[in-house]
Amino acid sequence: MLLLENMLVIFLILCAIAVSVTRNLMVSVIIFMAYSVVMSIIWLLLESPDLAITEAAVGAGVTSVLFFLTLKKVHFLKGTRDE
């Protein structure tokens, strides 16, 4: 169990660095979603199911949808440019 927790924490650190370094906004949003999912798994391992559900719903769900809508609004997503 300790090995799994350590691997998840290392993955969180790598995700945080990757979001900061990447230049592609779409990739940043996807990495952020992965970060939120792993964080909710860590909350489950820490026996906090209420925080896990909140992190999954808000972090990976609502916030990611808002980021994708923002990318569409600023015409970053392919096929959304008015020409």
* Domain-located, residue 14: no
The total domain count for the chain is 1
* Domain-located, residue 50: yes
**Would you say residue 13 has pLDDT above 90?**
yes
* Domain-located, residue 15: no
CA distance 50 to 22: 32
Instruction: Give the structural domain span for 48.
Output: 25-74
* Domain-located, residue 54: yes
Q: What is the DSSP string of 32-76?
A: HHHHHHHHHHHHHHTT-HHHHHHIIIIIIIIHHHHHHHHHHHTT-
* Domain-located, residue 11: no
Residues 35-78 have pLDDT tens digits of 999 999 999 999 999 999 999 999 889 999 999 999 888 877 76
Q: What is the pTM of this model?
A: 0.83
CA distance 58 to 35: 12
**In this structure, are residues 35 and 10 in contact, taking their beta carbons and an 8 Å threshold?**
no
What is residue 83's predicted lDDT score, i.e. its pLDDT? 47
